[in-house]
Amino acid sequence: MNTIRLSHSVFVLATALCLALALESISHAQQMAGTADSAAVFSIPTAYDAPIDPELFLLRPGEELRVTFLNSSLPFLNLEVSPDGQIVHPVLGALDVKGATLTQAREKLTVLLRARFKVDDMIISVKAPRPVGVTVTGAVNRPGFYRAYSSQRVSDVIAFAGGVSSIGSTRRIRLSGGPKAIDVDLDRALHLGDGSADPFLYSGYVIEVPARSRDVVQVIGEVLNPRTIELLPNDDMSTLLALSGGITRRADTARIQLLAGINGKDRSPGQFVPGDIIRVPTRDDQRTNTVLVIGEVANPGRFAIQPGASISSVIETAGGSTDKANLSRVTVFRLAESDEDVDELGSRYPIHAAVADLSAIPLKPLDSVFVPRKVGWVRVTGAVRSPGLLPYQEGKDIGFYVSAAGGFAQDADSKNIGLVDRISRVTETVSVNARVQDGDEIVVQRTLESAP
């Protein structure tokens, strides 16, 4: 594989592209959805689609166990967990299984059953899926308490909760409250068919969906689903390509390129870092008179252009913008033609901040046109009283968002405010009157006296 290491300016493009593509929404909710503010109507329970894991299966009130005695004429024995977490039987007595897994309950029951019925061989199994209550918190569209069945999976309840929000993570979700906290990776479950990455609800009762990490890579070119992917420590090339839908028949696998991020020099072979771009070329990749269109368009890809082609025309060629596109922030990344443009030839630089009307810019071959998504938030960090994400309001300035974040902290330097453009990742020092764009980050510096 050919590996290309580029300059810091490529990281600007890399980060912008990474922020471009939205997370995939969860679309396979089953027929039985609970709601946060009304009682669920339960139909016939959904069957388990894989063998249960007794080490993770959490016994809850109402759970029914069946004991089958082997090599014996004894009938089945049905046992139910009471509301206070006990199995009560007139012969066996009371057995506390509150918070126990199926494995732990089996161990306790086996001792009692062998002593009472003088039978060594038996099978203790779960009779059927049961209703369970699950709390969904964090970056979903409708957080709250939901009712489902123990045979359903984390993705089902997230779908009930309106899906992962535009700022939410699909790869760093946690299911807790059971025997142990479980990492949930819905990307792996969807694209790699890894059922363990989307666990059953019997394993816990709290689903936590965090905000999407900034540690992302971009996969572009001849893959079925070019996209931005949150980077996890063990991701390798095959995993990242699979998470992008796999390569197409036109892909030239011998020329897959790694456009390295800013930390590209400090890595082991095969290791990826945030900001990387994996480009899968075609076997007949003719790029001389083409531009790359990515982001919120119907059909992202590379398109041939005629001299003087406009941004609006090439977006139309790419199928037009989606309803989530932020057309006011369309950005062109252009290949540097001289060392006056950027620090290094072969790098790219964004052209949007200093130009009032992007439609007036004629495109050049090898340009990249990025149509960003409306994210609906502004991030405020640094020396403010309540840093975090705030809803974006068009036309508001730095002062408005600082006030919404609780105002300046005591050690804030109100004349040293950085505004990070989410598209180009360029930071400017601005005044409190500077206008803020959708998705930007406001960084309030601390005074020199208070800085560590």
- Decide which of 247, 262, 282 is a domain's last residue: 282
**138 lies in the same domain as 195:** yes
Task: Count CB atoms within 10 A of the CB of residue 317.
Answer: 17
Query: Tens digits of per-residue pLDDT, 117-132?
Result: 999 899 999 988 989 9
With contact defined as beta carbons under 8 Å apart, do 348 and 368 qualify? yes
438/421 Cα distance (integer angstroms) = 9
Q: Is residue 268 domain-resident?
A: yes
110 SS3 class: helix
What pLDDT score was predicted for residue 40?
43
CATH classification at residue 144: 3.10.560.10
* Tokens at 134, concatenated: 């699950």
Q: Is residue 48 domain-resident?
A: no
**247 lies in the same domain as 260:** yes
**74 lies in the same domain as 114:** yes
Q: Is residue 320 domain-resident?
A: no
- Decide which of 87, 108, 126 is a domain's last residue: 126
* pLDDT over threshold 60, residue 347: no
327/316 Cα distance (integer angstroms) = 12
Rounded percentage of the chain residues whose pLDDT exceeds 90: 44
Give how many domains the chain has, as a whole number: 4
Q: Which domain holds residue 117?
A: 64-126
CATH classification at residue 68: 3.30.1950.10
In eight-state DSSP terms, residue 405 is: T
Give, in order, the Cα–Cα distances in Å from 183 to each of 157, 273, 290, 322. 16, 21, 42, 32
Query: Tens digits of per-residue pLDDT, 148-198?
Result: 999 999 999 999 999 999 899 999 999 999 999 999 999 999 888 898 999
**193 lies in the same domain as 252:** no
**85 lies in the same domain as 140:** no
Residues 6+ apart with CB under 8 A from 425: 11, 12, 15, 16
- Decide which of 191, 209, 227 is a domain's last residue: 209
Return the ∠ at Cα 64 (arms to 62 and 66), rounded to 5°.
170
What pLDDT score was predicted for residue 287?
58
**122 lies in the same domain as 137:** no
Q: Is residue 438 domain-resident?
A: yes
CATH classification at residue 270: 3.10.560
**120 lies in the same domain as 135:** no
Q: Is residue 358 domain-resident?
A: no
Q: What is the distance, to the nearest Å, from the Cα of residue 7 to the centroid of all Cα atoms in its chain? A: 28
Lowest-pLDDT range of 49-63, 128-142, 211-225, 322-336? 322-336
Q: Is residue 271 domain-resident?
A: yes
